[in-house]
Amino acid sequence: MAHNVLVVGELAGGSPTSTTLELLGGAQGLAAGGSVSVALLGTGASAAAAKAAGASKAFVSDDAGYDAVKAEQWLAALEVAVDQSGADLVLIAQSSAGREIGPRLAARKKTAVAMDCAKIEDAGGLKFTRPAYGGNALATYSIATSPAIATVRAKSFEEATGAGAGEVVQLPAAGASRTNITGMEKAVSAGLQITDATVVVSGGRGLGAPEGFKVVEELAAAIGNDKAAVGASRAAVDLGWYPPSQQVGLTGKVVNPDLYIAVAISGASQHMAGCSGSKTIVAINRDKDANIFGFAKYGIVGDWKAIVPALIEEIKKAK
Amino acid sequence: MHIVVCAKQIPDPETPPSAFKIDAANNKVIPAQGIAPVLSQFDGIAAEAALRIKEANAGSKVTVISMGAESAQAAIKQVLAMGADEGVLLNDPAFEDGDSHTTATVLAAAIKKLGNVDAVFCGRQAADWDMGQVGLLVAEDLGWPVAIIAKGVAMGGAGLQVQRVLENGFESLETPLPAVVTVSNEFGEPRYPKLPQIMAAAKKTVTNWKLGDLGLDAGAVGKAGSRLKLEKLFIPEKGGKVELMEGDTPQAQAAALVARLQADKIL
Protein backbone atom coordinates (compact mmCIF):
# COMPACT_ATOMS: atom_id res chain seq x y z
CA MET A 1 0.00 0.00 0.00
CA ALA A 2 1.19 3.50 -0.68
CA HIS A 3 2.07 5.65 2.31
CA ASN A 4 2.74 9.33 2.77
CA VAL A 5 5.85 9.41 4.91
CA LEU A 6 7.22 12.37 6.89
CA VAL A 7 10.81 12.13 8.11
CA VAL A 8 11.73 14.29 11.10
CA GLY A 9 15.25 15.29 10.11
CA GLU A 10 18.13 16.42 12.27
CA LEU A 11 20.93 18.72 11.16
CA ALA A 12 24.63 18.67 11.95
CA GLY A 13 26.65 21.62 10.69
CA GLY A 14 23.77 22.61 8.41
CA SER A 15 23.52 19.21 6.69
CA PRO A 16 21.11 16.34 7.27
CA THR A 17 22.67 13.76 9.62
CA SER A 18 23.47 10.28 8.30
CA THR A 19 20.53 8.93 10.32
CA THR A 20 18.24 11.44 8.59
CA LEU A 21 19.44 10.13 5.21
CA GLU A 22 18.85 6.57 6.43
CA LEU A 23 15.28 7.46 7.44
CA LEU A 24 14.76 9.00 4.01
CA GLY A 25 16.04 5.77 2.47
CA GLY A 26 13.56 3.78 4.54
CA ALA A 27 10.81 6.23 3.66
CA GLN A 28 11.47 5.80 -0.07
CA GLY A 29 10.87 2.06 0.26
CA LEU A 30 7.86 2.30 2.54
CA ALA A 31 6.14 5.08 0.56
CA ALA A 32 5.61 2.63 -2.34
CA GLY A 33 4.27 5.33 -4.60
CA GLY A 34 3.16 7.69 -1.84
CA SER A 35 4.95 10.91 -0.97
CA VAL A 36 8.15 11.38 1.05
CA SER A 37 8.53 14.65 2.98
CA VAL A 38 11.15 15.83 5.42
CA ALA A 39 11.00 18.39 8.23
CA LEU A 40 14.24 20.31 8.87
CA LEU A 41 14.57 22.79 11.71
CA GLY A 42 17.47 25.07 12.60
CA THR A 43 20.33 26.97 11.04
CA GLY A 44 20.86 25.93 7.43
CA ALA A 45 17.54 24.10 7.11
CA SER A 46 16.63 25.68 3.74
CA ALA A 47 19.99 24.80 2.17
CA ALA A 48 19.88 21.34 3.75
CA ALA A 49 16.59 20.65 1.94
CA ALA A 50 18.56 20.34 -1.30
CA LYS A 51 20.68 17.62 0.35
CA ALA A 52 17.69 15.68 1.68
CA ALA A 53 17.93 12.90 -0.89
CA GLY A 54 14.70 11.22 -1.83
CA ALA A 55 12.31 13.77 -0.33
CA SER A 56 9.96 15.50 -2.73
CA LYS A 57 8.90 18.14 -0.24
CA ALA A 58 10.76 19.79 2.64
CA PHE A 59 9.13 21.62 5.54
CA VAL A 60 11.78 24.00 6.84
CA SER A 61 12.46 26.76 9.29
CA ASP A 62 15.92 28.31 9.25
CA ASP A 63 15.49 29.73 12.75
CA ALA A 64 18.57 29.28 14.98
CA GLY A 65 16.08 29.04 17.87
CA TYR A 66 15.63 25.40 16.88
CA ASP A 67 19.35 24.52 17.04
CA ALA A 68 19.42 23.39 20.66
CA VAL A 69 16.45 21.06 20.67
CA LYS A 70 13.68 22.20 22.96
CA ALA A 71 10.99 19.65 22.29
CA GLU A 72 8.06 22.01 22.79
CA GLN A 73 9.32 24.31 20.04
CA TRP A 74 9.94 21.39 17.70
CA LEU A 75 6.53 19.84 18.47
CA ALA A 76 4.66 22.98 17.47
CA ALA A 77 6.42 23.03 14.10
CA LEU A 78 6.17 19.29 13.55
CA GLU A 79 2.42 19.26 14.17
CA VAL A 80 2.10 21.67 11.24
CA ALA A 81 4.37 19.49 9.08
CA VAL A 82 2.37 16.36 9.92
CA ASP A 83 -0.91 18.05 9.00
CA GLN A 84 0.35 19.66 5.80
CA SER A 85 2.22 16.58 4.55
CA GLY A 86 -0.82 14.36 5.00
CA ALA A 87 1.54 11.80 6.51
CA ASP A 88 0.18 8.46 7.67
CA LEU A 89 3.70 7.44 8.77
CA VAL A 90 6.21 9.60 10.65
CA LEU A 91 9.82 8.43 11.05
CA ILE A 92 12.04 9.91 13.76
CA ALA A 93 15.58 8.97 14.81
CA GLN A 94 16.01 7.16 18.13
CA SER A 95 18.22 10.06 19.23
CA SER A 96 18.23 12.30 22.30
CA ALA A 97 15.70 14.52 20.53
CA GLY A 98 13.70 11.65 19.04
CA ARG A 99 13.26 9.87 22.36
CA GLU A 100 11.35 12.93 23.58
CA ILE A 101 9.63 14.04 20.38
CA GLY A 102 8.22 10.62 19.41
CA PRO A 103 5.94 10.06 22.40
CA ARG A 104 4.93 13.72 22.74
CA LEU A 105 4.04 14.03 19.06
CA ALA A 106 2.01 10.82 19.37
CA ALA A 107 0.12 12.25 22.36
CA ARG A 108 -0.63 15.49 20.52
CA LYS A 109 -1.84 13.70 17.38
CA LYS A 110 -3.84 11.20 19.47
CA THR A 111 -1.92 8.30 18.03
CA ALA A 112 0.88 5.95 19.07
CA VAL A 113 4.62 5.59 18.56
CA ALA A 114 6.69 2.44 18.38
CA MET A 115 10.05 3.29 19.96
CA ASP A 116 13.51 2.14 18.94
CA CYS A 117 12.43 0.18 15.88
CA ALA A 118 15.02 -1.98 14.14
CA LYS A 119 12.73 -2.98 11.28
CA ILE A 120 9.64 -1.51 9.63
CA GLU A 121 7.85 -3.31 6.85
CA ASP A 122 4.54 -3.19 5.06
CA ALA A 123 3.12 -6.69 5.32
CA GLY A 124 -0.62 -6.32 5.17
CA GLY A 125 -0.26 -3.04 7.07
CA LEU A 126 2.77 -1.42 8.67
CA LYS A 127 4.62 -3.65 11.14
CA PHE A 128 7.17 -2.27 13.57
CA THR A 129 9.75 -4.59 15.14
CA ARG A 130 11.87 -3.61 18.11
CA PRO A 131 13.78 -5.22 20.95
CA ALA A 132 11.99 -5.79 24.27
CA TYR A 133 12.88 -7.35 27.60
CA GLY A 134 16.36 -5.92 27.45
CA GLY A 135 16.98 -7.47 24.06
CA ASN A 136 15.94 -10.97 25.14
CA ALA A 137 12.92 -10.70 22.86
CA LEU A 138 11.75 -8.95 19.73
CA ALA A 139 8.27 -7.47 19.57
CA THR A 140 6.32 -6.66 16.41
CA TYR A 141 3.58 -4.03 16.65
CA SER A 142 0.94 -2.46 14.50
CA ILE A 143 -0.58 0.95 15.13
CA ALA A 144 -4.33 1.32 14.81
CA THR A 145 -4.36 5.12 14.69
CA SER A 146 -2.97 7.55 12.09
CA PRO A 147 -0.36 8.76 11.62
CA ALA A 148 1.68 5.81 12.80
CA ILE A 149 4.88 7.11 14.37
CA ALA A 150 8.15 5.25 14.82
CA THR A 151 11.51 6.14 16.27
CA VAL A 152 14.15 4.20 14.40
CA ARG A 153 17.59 3.07 15.51
CA ALA A 154 20.62 4.10 13.50
CA LYS A 155 21.73 1.92 10.57
CA SER A 156 18.31 0.29 10.16
CA PHE A 157 18.00 1.49 6.57
CA GLU A 158 20.38 2.27 3.71
CA GLU A 159 20.89 5.98 3.09
CA ALA A 160 18.63 7.55 0.47
CA THR A 161 19.93 8.42 -2.94
CA GLY A 162 18.55 10.79 -5.53
CA ALA A 163 17.82 14.48 -5.73
CA GLY A 164 16.93 16.62 -2.76
CA ALA A 165 13.59 18.26 -2.15
CA GLY A 166 12.35 20.50 -4.95
CA GLU A 167 9.42 22.00 -3.13
CA VAL A 168 10.19 23.85 0.09
CA VAL A 169 7.45 24.87 2.52
CA GLN A 170 8.19 27.31 5.33
CA LEU A 171 7.40 26.37 8.91
CA PRO A 172 7.01 29.01 11.64
CA ALA A 173 9.96 30.30 13.65
CA ALA A 174 10.61 28.76 17.06
CA GLY A 175 7.91 29.62 19.57
CA ALA A 176 7.76 29.39 23.32
CA SER A 177 9.13 26.65 25.55
CA ARG A 178 8.39 26.24 29.23
CA THR A 179 11.72 24.49 29.77
CA ASN A 180 14.87 26.52 29.33
CA ILE A 181 18.33 25.23 28.45
CA THR A 182 20.85 26.91 30.76
CA GLY A 183 23.99 25.06 29.79
CA MET A 184 25.49 22.58 27.38
CA GLU A 185 28.59 20.46 27.74
CA LYS A 186 29.92 18.51 24.80
CA ALA A 187 31.39 15.22 25.91
CA VAL A 188 32.35 13.37 22.80
CA SER A 189 35.49 11.40 22.19
CA ALA A 190 37.89 13.07 19.83
CA GLY A 191 38.08 11.63 16.36
CA LEU A 192 35.97 8.83 14.98
CA GLN A 193 32.55 8.28 16.62
CA ILE A 194 31.46 4.77 17.61
CA THR A 195 28.36 5.00 15.43
CA ASP A 196 30.53 5.74 12.35
CA ALA A 197 33.43 3.39 13.02
CA THR A 198 33.85 0.18 11.00
CA VAL A 199 35.47 -1.43 14.03
CA VAL A 200 34.30 -0.92 17.62
CA VAL A 201 36.38 -2.21 20.51
CA SER A 202 34.40 -2.15 23.76
CA GLY A 203 35.39 -2.74 27.36
CA GLY A 204 33.26 -3.88 30.26
CA ARG A 205 33.24 -4.28 34.01
CA GLY A 206 35.53 -7.29 33.67
CA LEU A 207 38.40 -4.87 32.97
CA GLY A 208 38.43 -4.43 36.74
CA ALA A 209 39.55 -0.80 36.76
CA PRO A 210 39.32 2.30 34.56
CA GLU A 211 42.96 1.82 33.55
CA GLY A 212 41.84 -1.20 31.56
CA PHE A 213 40.41 1.15 28.98
CA LYS A 214 43.94 2.38 28.20
CA VAL A 215 44.69 -1.10 26.85
CA VAL A 216 41.36 -1.19 24.97
CA GLU A 217 42.27 2.17 23.43
CA GLU A 218 45.69 0.77 22.42
CA LEU A 219 43.92 -2.11 20.67
CA ALA A 220 41.74 0.36 18.76
CA ALA A 221 44.82 2.40 17.86
CA ALA A 222 46.61 -0.72 16.60
CA ILE A 223 43.67 -1.45 14.29
CA GLY A 224 43.79 2.16 13.17
CA ASN A 225 42.29 5.36 14.54
CA ASP A 226 40.72 5.97 11.13
CA LYS A 227 38.71 2.73 11.44
CA ALA A 228 38.30 1.85 15.10
CA ALA A 229 36.58 3.59 18.02
CA VAL A 230 36.23 2.61 21.67
CA GLY A 231 32.92 1.75 23.33
CA ALA A 232 31.92 0.70 26.83
CA SER A 233 29.26 -1.35 28.54
CA ARG A 234 26.67 0.30 30.79
CA ALA A 235 28.27 -1.30 33.84
CA ALA A 236 31.61 0.32 32.99
CA VAL A 237 29.97 3.70 32.33
CA ASP A 238 27.97 3.56 35.58
CA LEU A 239 31.22 2.89 37.44
CA GLY A 240 32.55 6.09 35.90
CA TRP A 241 35.29 4.30 33.96
CA TYR A 242 34.28 5.69 30.57
CA PRO A 243 32.04 8.55 29.37
CA PRO A 244 28.30 7.96 28.70
CA SER A 245 28.76 9.15 25.10
CA GLN A 246 30.67 5.89 24.44
CA GLN A 247 28.07 3.57 25.96
CA VAL A 248 26.86 0.77 23.70
CA GLY A 249 23.47 -0.73 24.49
CA LEU A 250 19.80 -0.11 24.93
CA THR A 251 20.24 3.10 26.93
CA GLY A 252 23.35 4.12 25.02
CA LYS A 253 24.20 3.93 21.36
CA VAL A 254 23.44 1.31 18.76
CA VAL A 255 26.42 0.29 16.64
CA ASN A 256 26.51 -1.97 13.59
CA PRO A 257 30.22 -2.10 12.67
CA ASP A 258 31.90 -4.71 10.48
CA LEU A 259 33.81 -5.88 13.54
CA TYR A 260 32.83 -5.61 17.21
CA ILE A 261 35.42 -6.72 19.74
CA ALA A 262 33.98 -7.15 23.25
CA VAL A 263 36.69 -7.17 25.89
CA ALA A 264 35.68 -8.41 29.35
CA ILE A 265 31.98 -7.86 28.61
CA SER A 266 29.60 -10.58 29.81
CA GLY A 267 27.03 -9.73 27.14
CA ALA A 268 23.95 -8.71 29.11
CA SER A 269 20.91 -8.57 26.84
CA GLN A 270 20.69 -4.78 27.15
CA HIS A 271 24.27 -4.54 25.86
CA MET A 272 23.69 -6.98 23.02
CA ALA A 273 20.67 -4.91 21.94
CA GLY A 274 23.18 -2.20 21.06
CA CYS A 275 25.68 -4.32 19.11
CA SER A 276 24.07 -7.55 17.92
CA GLY A 277 23.71 -6.06 14.43
CA SER A 278 27.52 -6.06 14.05
CA LYS A 279 28.67 -8.19 11.12
CA THR A 280 31.31 -10.05 13.15
CA ILE A 281 31.50 -10.16 16.94
CA VAL A 282 34.68 -11.23 18.70
CA ALA A 283 34.50 -11.97 22.42
CA ILE A 284 37.41 -12.00 24.82
CA ASN A 285 36.28 -13.23 28.23
CA ARG A 286 37.58 -15.30 31.09
CA ASP A 287 34.22 -17.05 31.58
CA LYS A 288 33.60 -19.58 28.82
CA ASP A 289 29.88 -19.58 29.76
CA ALA A 290 29.50 -15.81 29.34
CA ASN A 291 26.43 -14.81 27.31
CA ILE A 292 28.62 -12.90 24.83
CA PHE A 293 29.94 -16.15 23.37
CA GLY A 294 26.39 -16.98 22.23
CA PHE A 295 26.58 -14.01 19.85
CA ALA A 296 30.24 -14.13 18.88
CA LYS A 297 31.65 -15.64 15.70
CA TYR A 298 35.13 -15.89 17.22
CA GLY A 299 36.07 -16.10 20.87
CA ILE A 300 39.09 -16.27 23.08
CA VAL A 301 38.61 -17.66 26.57
CA GLY A 302 41.21 -16.08 28.79
CA ASP A 303 42.36 -13.10 30.82
CA TRP A 304 42.13 -9.91 28.79
CA LYS A 305 45.31 -8.68 30.51
CA ALA A 306 47.25 -11.36 28.65
CA ILE A 307 45.13 -11.65 25.51
CA VAL A 308 44.73 -8.02 24.49
CA PRO A 309 48.45 -7.08 24.55
CA ALA A 310 49.17 -10.23 22.52
CA LEU A 311 46.43 -9.25 20.09
CA ILE A 312 47.86 -5.73 19.73
CA GLU A 313 51.26 -7.24 18.95
CA GLU A 314 49.82 -9.68 16.38
CA ILE A 315 47.80 -6.96 14.66
CA LYS A 316 50.89 -4.73 14.39
CA LYS A 317 52.87 -7.69 13.03
CA ALA A 318 50.21 -8.43 10.43
CA LYS A 319 50.25 -4.90 9.03
CA MET B 1 7.15 19.90 47.63
CA HIS B 2 5.02 16.84 46.88
CA ILE B 3 6.68 14.42 44.48
CA VAL B 4 4.93 11.40 43.00
CA VAL B 5 7.19 8.51 41.97
CA CYS B 6 5.77 6.17 39.34
CA ALA B 7 7.04 2.66 39.95
CA LYS B 8 6.61 -0.49 37.90
CA GLN B 9 7.10 -4.09 38.88
CA ILE B 10 8.74 -6.13 36.12
CA PRO B 11 10.18 -9.61 35.56
CA ASP B 12 13.76 -9.60 36.88
CA PRO B 13 15.95 -8.36 33.97
CA GLU B 14 18.83 -10.35 35.49
CA THR B 15 16.94 -13.55 34.65
CA PRO B 16 19.44 -15.68 32.74
CA PRO B 17 18.61 -15.74 29.00
CA SER B 18 18.27 -19.55 29.26
CA ALA B 19 15.32 -19.09 31.68
CA PHE B 20 13.64 -16.48 29.50
CA LYS B 21 10.59 -18.08 27.84
CA ILE B 22 7.69 -16.74 25.83
CA ASP B 23 4.10 -17.98 25.63
CA ALA B 24 3.81 -17.50 21.87
CA ALA B 25 0.04 -18.07 21.77
CA ASN B 26 -0.58 -15.13 24.10
CA ASN B 27 2.50 -13.02 23.27
CA LYS B 28 3.48 -12.97 26.92
CA VAL B 29 6.61 -13.69 28.90
CA ILE B 30 6.32 -16.79 31.06
CA PRO B 31 7.46 -15.85 34.58
CA ALA B 32 10.72 -17.69 35.30
CA GLN B 33 10.36 -20.33 38.02
CA GLY B 34 11.66 -19.16 41.39
CA ILE B 35 12.69 -15.67 40.19
CA ALA B 36 10.57 -13.00 41.87
CA PRO B 37 9.53 -9.87 39.95
CA VAL B 38 11.41 -6.71 40.91
CA LEU B 39 11.04 -2.94 40.98
CA SER B 40 12.21 -1.65 37.60
CA GLN B 41 15.76 -0.40 38.28
CA PHE B 42 15.26 3.00 36.70
CA ASP B 43 12.18 3.57 38.91
CA GLY B 44 14.28 2.81 41.99
CA ILE B 45 16.69 5.51 40.83
CA ALA B 46 13.76 7.91 40.28
CA ALA B 47 12.69 7.21 43.88
CA GLU B 48 16.21 7.97 45.06
CA ALA B 49 16.14 11.29 43.20
CA ALA B 50 12.79 12.19 44.78
CA LEU B 51 13.93 11.23 48.28
CA ARG B 52 17.07 13.36 48.03
CA ILE B 53 14.89 16.37 47.19
CA LYS B 54 12.59 15.52 50.09
CA GLU B 55 15.56 15.39 52.48
CA ALA B 56 16.93 18.71 51.20
CA ASN B 57 13.58 20.50 51.45
CA ALA B 58 11.76 20.36 54.79
CA GLY B 59 8.03 19.69 54.65
CA SER B 60 8.29 17.69 51.44
CA LYS B 61 6.41 14.48 50.77
CA VAL B 62 6.92 11.55 48.40
CA THR B 63 4.05 9.35 47.21
CA VAL B 64 4.74 6.20 45.22
CA ILE B 65 2.12 4.96 42.77
CA SER B 66 2.13 1.80 40.72
CA MET B 67 -0.24 0.43 38.14
CA GLY B 68 -0.07 -3.32 38.10
CA ALA B 69 -1.02 -6.63 39.58
CA GLU B 70 -1.64 -7.19 43.29
CA SER B 71 1.99 -8.34 43.49
CA ALA B 72 3.11 -4.78 42.64
CA GLN B 73 2.48 -4.05 46.34
CA ALA B 74 6.03 -5.36 46.79
CA ALA B 75 7.44 -2.65 44.51
CA ILE B 76 5.45 -0.01 46.40
CA LYS B 77 6.65 -1.35 49.76
CA GLN B 78 10.23 -1.22 48.54
CA VAL B 79 9.95 2.50 47.75
CA LEU B 80 8.13 3.06 51.07
CA ALA B 81 11.04 1.32 52.81
CA MET B 82 13.44 3.64 50.99
CA GLY B 83 11.61 6.55 52.63
CA ALA B 84 8.48 7.41 50.65
CA ASP B 85 5.51 8.54 52.75
CA GLU B 86 2.52 7.00 51.03
CA GLY B 87 1.75 4.36 48.45
CA VAL B 88 -1.10 3.87 45.98
CA LEU B 89 -1.73 0.73 43.94
CA LEU B 90 -3.75 1.09 40.76
CA ASN B 91 -5.06 -2.38 40.17
CA ASP B 92 -8.05 -3.30 38.05
CA PRO B 93 -8.59 -6.03 35.44
CA ALA B 94 -9.63 -3.22 33.05
CA PHE B 95 -6.06 -1.82 33.18
CA GLU B 96 -4.46 -5.02 31.86
CA ASP B 97 -2.80 -5.55 28.46
CA GLY B 98 -2.71 -1.85 27.63
CA ASP B 99 0.02 0.23 26.00
CA SER B 100 2.12 3.20 27.14
CA HIS B 101 -0.77 5.54 26.37
CA THR B 102 -3.33 3.71 28.53
CA THR B 103 -0.79 3.30 31.35
CA ALA B 104 -0.16 7.05 31.27
CA THR B 105 -3.91 7.69 31.24
CA VAL B 106 -4.33 5.71 34.47
CA LEU B 107 -1.26 7.23 36.18
CA ALA B 108 -2.27 10.78 35.21
CA ALA B 109 -5.80 10.21 36.54
CA ALA B 110 -4.33 9.03 39.86
CA ILE B 111 -2.01 12.06 40.01
CA LYS B 112 -5.01 14.37 39.41
CA LYS B 113 -6.95 12.57 42.14
CA LEU B 114 -4.05 12.93 44.59
CA GLY B 115 -4.04 16.68 43.94
CA ASN B 116 -1.39 19.20 45.02
CA VAL B 117 1.37 17.32 43.25
CA ASP B 118 4.40 19.46 42.34
CA ALA B 119 6.43 16.94 40.39
CA VAL B 120 6.28 13.42 39.00
CA PHE B 121 9.47 11.34 38.80
CA CYS B 122 9.67 8.24 36.60
CA GLY B 123 12.45 5.95 35.48
CA ARG B 124 13.78 6.81 32.02
CA GLN B 125 12.14 3.62 30.75
CA ALA B 126 10.74 0.44 32.22
CA ALA B 127 13.41 -2.24 32.08
CA ASP B 128 11.00 -4.75 30.53
CA TRP B 129 9.49 -3.11 27.43
CA ASP B 130 12.13 -0.35 27.25
CA MET B 131 9.83 2.08 25.45
CA GLY B 132 10.61 5.16 27.53
CA GLN B 133 7.24 6.74 26.85
CA VAL B 134 5.13 6.74 29.99
CA GLY B 135 6.73 9.73 31.73
CA LEU B 136 6.38 11.83 28.59
CA LEU B 137 2.77 10.76 28.04
CA VAL B 138 1.88 11.50 31.68
CA ALA B 139 3.34 15.00 31.17
CA GLU B 140 1.30 15.50 28.00
CA ASP B 141 -1.86 14.24 29.71
CA LEU B 142 -1.35 16.59 32.65
CA GLY B 143 -0.19 19.44 30.39
CA TRP B 144 3.08 19.78 32.32
CA PRO B 145 6.62 20.40 31.04
CA VAL B 146 8.99 17.46 31.12
CA ALA B 147 12.72 16.77 31.32
CA ILE B 148 13.91 13.31 30.35
CA ILE B 149 16.98 11.18 31.00
CA ALA B 150 18.19 13.14 34.03
CA LYS B 151 21.46 12.41 35.78
CA GLY B 152 20.86 15.15 38.32
CA VAL B 153 17.83 17.03 39.62
CA ALA B 154 17.44 19.61 42.39
CA MET B 155 15.14 22.44 43.45
CA GLY B 156 16.28 25.79 42.12
CA GLY B 157 15.81 28.53 39.56
CA ALA B 158 12.35 28.57 38.08
CA GLY B 159 11.45 25.29 39.80
CA LEU B 160 13.72 22.36 39.10
CA GLN B 161 17.23 22.32 37.72
CA VAL B 162 17.94 19.18 35.76
CA GLN B 163 21.14 17.81 34.23
CA ARG B 164 20.27 15.65 31.24
CA VAL B 165 22.36 13.04 29.46
CA LEU B 166 22.42 13.62 25.70
CA GLU B 167 24.00 11.36 23.09
CA ASN B 168 26.99 13.65 22.77
CA GLY B 169 27.20 15.37 26.13
CA PHE B 170 25.11 16.91 28.87
CA GLU B 171 22.49 19.61 29.04
CA SER B 172 21.43 21.76 31.97
CA LEU B 173 17.75 22.57 31.89
CA GLU B 174 15.43 24.58 34.07
CA THR B 175 11.73 23.87 34.31
CA PRO B 176 8.90 25.50 36.20
CA LEU B 177 6.72 23.36 38.47
CA PRO B 178 4.66 21.28 38.24
CA ALA B 179 6.80 19.11 35.97
CA VAL B 180 7.67 15.54 35.08
CA VAL B 181 11.26 14.26 35.23
CA THR B 182 12.51 10.89 34.00
CA VAL B 183 15.69 9.70 35.69
CA SER B 184 18.53 7.69 34.15
CA ASN B 185 21.08 5.26 35.53
CA GLU B 186 23.79 7.95 35.40
CA PHE B 187 22.08 9.50 38.47
CA GLY B 188 23.60 6.81 40.69
CA GLU B 189 22.49 3.85 42.75
CA PRO B 190 19.31 3.86 44.84
CA ARG B 191 19.67 3.37 48.59
CA TYR B 192 19.21 -0.03 50.21
CA PRO B 193 16.55 0.11 52.93
CA LYS B 194 17.60 -1.25 56.32
CA LEU B 195 15.61 -3.88 58.22
CA PRO B 196 13.72 -1.47 60.55
CA GLN B 197 12.64 0.58 57.53
CA ILE B 198 11.52 -2.55 55.70
CA MET B 199 9.48 -3.59 58.76
CA ALA B 200 7.94 -0.14 59.11
CA ALA B 201 7.02 -0.12 55.42
CA ALA B 202 5.44 -3.56 55.75
CA LYS B 203 3.01 -2.13 58.32
CA LYS B 204 2.03 0.84 56.13
CA THR B 205 -1.33 0.67 54.37
CA VAL B 206 -1.23 0.97 50.62
CA THR B 207 -4.24 2.76 49.12
CA ASN B 208 -6.02 0.83 46.38
CA TRP B 209 -7.71 2.64 43.55
CA LYS B 210 -9.72 0.94 40.85
CA LEU B 211 -11.19 2.12 37.55
CA GLY B 212 -14.24 3.69 39.23
CA ASP B 213 -12.10 5.54 41.80
CA LEU B 214 -10.26 7.29 38.97
CA GLY B 215 -13.40 8.22 37.05
CA LEU B 216 -12.08 6.59 33.91
CA ASP B 217 -14.05 4.86 31.19
CA ALA B 218 -13.23 1.16 30.67
CA GLY B 219 -12.89 1.80 26.94
CA ALA B 220 -10.07 4.31 27.54
CA VAL B 221 -7.75 1.98 29.43
CA GLY B 222 -6.15 -1.44 29.12
CA LYS B 223 -6.45 -3.44 25.95
CA ALA B 224 -9.64 -1.61 24.90
CA GLY B 225 -7.95 1.80 24.91
CA SER B 226 -4.57 0.89 23.52
CA ARG B 227 -3.35 2.22 20.19
CA LEU B 228 -0.16 0.19 19.90
CA LYS B 229 -1.05 -3.43 19.22
CA LEU B 230 1.43 -6.16 20.01
CA GLU B 231 1.23 -8.59 17.09
CA LYS B 232 4.04 -10.92 17.97
CA LEU B 233 6.58 -11.42 20.76
CA PHE B 234 9.42 -13.79 20.01
CA ILE B 235 12.97 -14.73 20.94
CA PRO B 236 15.46 -13.76 18.21
CA GLU B 237 17.85 -16.35 16.84
CA LYS B 238 21.40 -15.91 18.01
CA GLY B 239 24.33 -16.04 15.63
CA GLY B 240 26.02 -19.30 14.81
CA LYS B 241 28.18 -21.29 17.13
CA VAL B 242 31.23 -19.48 18.38
CA GLU B 243 34.62 -20.67 17.19
CA LEU B 244 37.03 -20.51 20.10
CA MET B 245 40.67 -19.75 19.28
CA GLU B 246 42.88 -22.59 20.36
CA GLY B 247 46.50 -22.17 21.41
CA ASP B 248 48.80 -22.80 24.35
CA THR B 249 49.66 -19.14 24.78
CA PRO B 250 47.82 -15.85 24.45
CA GLN B 251 50.14 -15.11 21.50
CA ALA B 252 49.01 -18.27 19.72
CA GLN B 253 45.34 -17.51 20.39
CA ALA B 254 45.76 -13.90 19.24
CA ALA B 255 47.59 -15.03 16.09
CA ALA B 256 44.80 -17.48 15.30
CA LEU B 257 42.22 -14.72 15.67
CA VAL B 258 44.13 -12.29 13.46
CA ALA B 259 44.45 -15.03 10.82
CA ARG B 260 40.67 -15.62 10.88
CA LEU B 261 39.89 -11.90 10.63
CA GLN B 262 42.33 -11.52 7.75
CA ALA B 263 40.84 -14.51 5.94
CA ASP B 264 37.41 -12.88 6.39
CA LYS B 265 38.91 -9.62 5.01
CA ILE B 266 37.83 -7.75 8.14
CA LEU B 267 41.34 -6.75 9.16
Select the residue of B132, B171, B261 nearest A181 (Cβ to Cβ).
B171
Tell which residue, A46, A108, A49, has the closest CA to residue A75.
A108
Average pLDDT, chain A: 95
> Which whole number is the average pLDDT over A278-286?
96
Distance from CA of B56 to the nearest CA of A (A): 22
B105-157 residue pLDDT tens: 999 999 999 999 999 999 999 989 999 999 999 999 999 999 999 999 999 99
Domain edge (last residue) among A155, A170, A185 = A170
Do A270 and B13 lie within an 8 Å CB cutoff?
yes
Residue A33 lies in a domain: yes
Total domains, chain A: 2
Residue A153 lies in a domain: yes
Helix H segments across A94-211? 96-108
Tell which residue, A209, A194, A177, has the closest CA to residue A278.
A194
Residue of chain A minimizing CA distance to B125: A251
| Domains of chain B, residue spans | 2-225, 242-267
Q: Is pLDDT above 80 for A189?
A: no
Cβ atoms of residues A39 and A56 within 8 Å: no
Asked if A120 and A213 sit in the same domain, the reply is no
Asked if A108 and A24 sit in the same domain, the reply is yes
Residue A183 lies in a domain: no
B49-66 residue pLDDT tens: 999 999 999 999 999 999
C-alpha to C-alpha distance for A242 and B244, rounded to whole angstroms: 28
Asked if A223 and A157 sit in the same domain, the reply is no
Select the residue of B161, B165, B231 nearest A140 (Cβ to Cβ).
B231
Distance from CA of B105 to the nearest CA of A (A): 11
Asked if A23 and A141 sit in the same domain, the reply is yes
pLDDT of residue B241: 87
Domain edge (last residue) among A154, A170, A186 = A170
A14-60 residue pLDDT tens: 999 999 999 999 999 999 999 999 999 999 999 999 999 999 999 99
Task: Catalogue the E-assigned strands of chain A.
Answer: 5-8, 11-12, 15-16, 36-41, 57-61, 89-93, 113-117, 119-122, 126-132, 137-143, 148-152, 167-170, 180-186, 199-203, 228-232, 259-263, 280-285, 298-301
Asked if A27 and A102 sit in the same domain, the reply is yes
Q: Which residues of B touch A104 (CB under 8 A)?
A: 136-137, 139-140, 146
Low-confidence ranges of chain B (pLDDT < 50): none
CATH 3.40.50.620 fits B2-225, yes or no: yes
C-alpha to C-alpha distance for A64 and A43, rounded to whole angstroms: 5
Asked if A292 and A235 sit in the same domain, the reply is yes
Asked if A230 and A128 sit in the same domain, the reply is no
Domain edge (last residue) among A149, A170, A191 = A170
Asked if A148 and A211 sit in the same domain, the reply is no
Q: Which of A18, A74, A100, A271 to mutate to test the interface with B (most CBs of B within 10 A)?
A: A100
Give the DSSP H/E element, type plus range, for residue B195.
helix B195-203
Could you list the residue range(s) of the whole structural domain that residue A257 is in? 199-318
Distance in angstroms between the alpha carbons of the first and the last residue of chain B: 58
Do B227 and A300 lie within an 8 Å CB cutoff?
no
Select the residue of A95, A180, A199 nearest B173 (Cβ to Cβ).
A180
3-state secondary structure of B73: helix
Q: Which residues of B touch A181 (CB under 8 A)?
A: 171-173
